[in-house]
Structure 1
């Protein structure tokens, strides 16, 4: 059965120059769980960062973090010595492990982005940082992230795949399947229709039993699609990903 997570469910732990809408994927399950994560998919922070903002150097432990930019340019600096602009089409995966520090700065126009937190399969793994350039307007699905050993360009230390697509208004997309993994579809911007359900910005959809049906874009839309092992072993010690409420 299709289950929808409405945008009215989300809290905003930070407002102002750095506004975060915190999407807790497990909320889509209602009273079926006491955890706010969807398997190892812990949190999607849908953030807007204003020009001139600096988020000072801070530490993450046991978080796997994908930075996905919708618009604008974020300046990244970290404890591994990397400094790089992160923009639409340039992905960054921080596998924090035992300890990883980073700083974020916005020098120009405001940034809209997702910071996606996944619980790793073990505690205190080695810290890593990865980057990948991808197409920016792919109408069909693009695999961005997969487990270690998969063919995905970025790896996460968990049984999780992350894809995106940018269908134009009126286009239909067939949703893929991954054997043994459960889908969680998030609309970053725009609006889609799946059967009789309309899914808008900051809303999500899942089906715990069946594959997701095809979707139709009601307008130009950015979709991020997750496939997760709901029974995966995972560390609960993440700075952000370990939060349960």
Structure 2
């Protein structure tokens, strides 16, 4: 079993817009030129202060899943869409050959994840998707999956993303997809896995074996990824193409 600790992350931005950049491949603890976890490239755990505007900017060849945990983020994009996104409302930007967007924060601080996945190929058509969750429960909710899956949001890659909200004392069995590697990230709270504590900003995987049952020691929000480690992928992404 491998754990990625909170102290291993970088913070490329600090201040009104603070990013803790989780490079999921660091979990292997190896010297490597590429710190992605297969096509799962970057998890930006962001805190944006009230009143902040991140001006219109371009992404190319990034598949970007926005997961708002706290507050409301106001989205505007080059497709002419303007939408408020808060907890339980999910957004996927499939940037493809070019996609521009802007983010604003109103009166409440926003804490969210922006998850960058490398697409299966370069310069696909850009698109944007939204989904409002039907439940916010302790057990697993499928949010994102490949184009041929039943997931409400599609990523152009062989990756699945679930979330769960266990309360203190709840135990969660971890589902399993044959041929895909599990990666569990703690957005908030704390869980234990066979006595190993995994807190906020931390992650765990189990090489060669499925993850065992986890137990929440605090009320928690966790995200579970299933990743095809051998998938074909584009390295041309604005953020997802970064190696370190």
TM, length-normalised to structure 2: 0.99
Quick one: distance in 1 between partners of 2:143 and 2:32? 28
Quick one: distance in 2 between partners of 1:62 and 1:30? 27
Unmatched tracts of structure 1, length 5 or more: none
Secondary structure in structure 2 of the residue aligned to 1:39? coil
Q: Which residue of 1 aligns with 2:120?
A: 121
Contact 1:25/1:41 (<8 A) preserved:
yes
List 4+ stretches of structure 1 deviating above 2 A: none
Q: Which residue of 2 aligns with 1:198?
A: 197
Contact 1:88/1:136 (<8 A) preserved:
no
Contact 1:163/1:226 (<8 A) preserved:
yes
Q: Which residue of 2 aligns with 1:3?
A: 2
Q: Which residue of 1 aligns with 2:54?
A: 55
Quick one: distance in 1 between partners of 2:106 and 2:210? 42
**C-alpha displacement of 1:178:** 0.6
Quick one: distance in 1 between partners of 2:153 and 2:136? 19
Matched, 1:228 2:227: yes
Secondary structure in structure 2 of the residue aligned to 1:144? strand
Q: Which moved more, 1:24-33 or 1:76-85?
A: 24-33
Q: Which moved more, 1:31-40 or 1:89-98?
A: 31-40
**C-alpha displacement of 1:136:** 5.5
RMSD: 0.8
Q: Which residue of 2 aligns with 1:68?
A: 67
Matched, 1:88 2:83: no
**C-alpha displacement of 1:32:** 6.1
Quick one: distance in 2 between partners of 1:19 and 1:127? 27
- CA shift digits 1:216-237 (9 cap, x unpaired): 0001000000000001000000
| Counterpart mapping for 1:20-169 below 5 A | 20-31=19-30, 33-135=32-134, 137-169=136-168
Contact 1:12/1:20 (<8 A) preserved:
yes
Q: Which residue of 1 aligns with 2:239?
A: 240
Secondary structure in structure 2 of the residue aligned to 1:26? helix
Quick one: distance in 2 between partners of 1:155 and 1:243? 22
Contact 1:172/1:214 (<8 A) preserved:
yes
TM, length-normalised to structure 1: 0.98
**C-alpha displacement of 1:208:** 2.0
Quick one: distance in 2 between partners of 1:219 and 1:135? 24
- CA shift digits 1:80-137 (9 cap, x unpaired): 1100000000000000000000000001110000000000000000001000001463
Provide closer, same or farther for how the CA distance between residues 32 and 207 of structure 1 changes in structure 2, counting only shifts above 3 A.
farther
Q: Which moved more, 1:234-243 or 1:133-142?
A: 133-142
Quick one: distance in 1 between partners of 2:3 and 2:52? 33
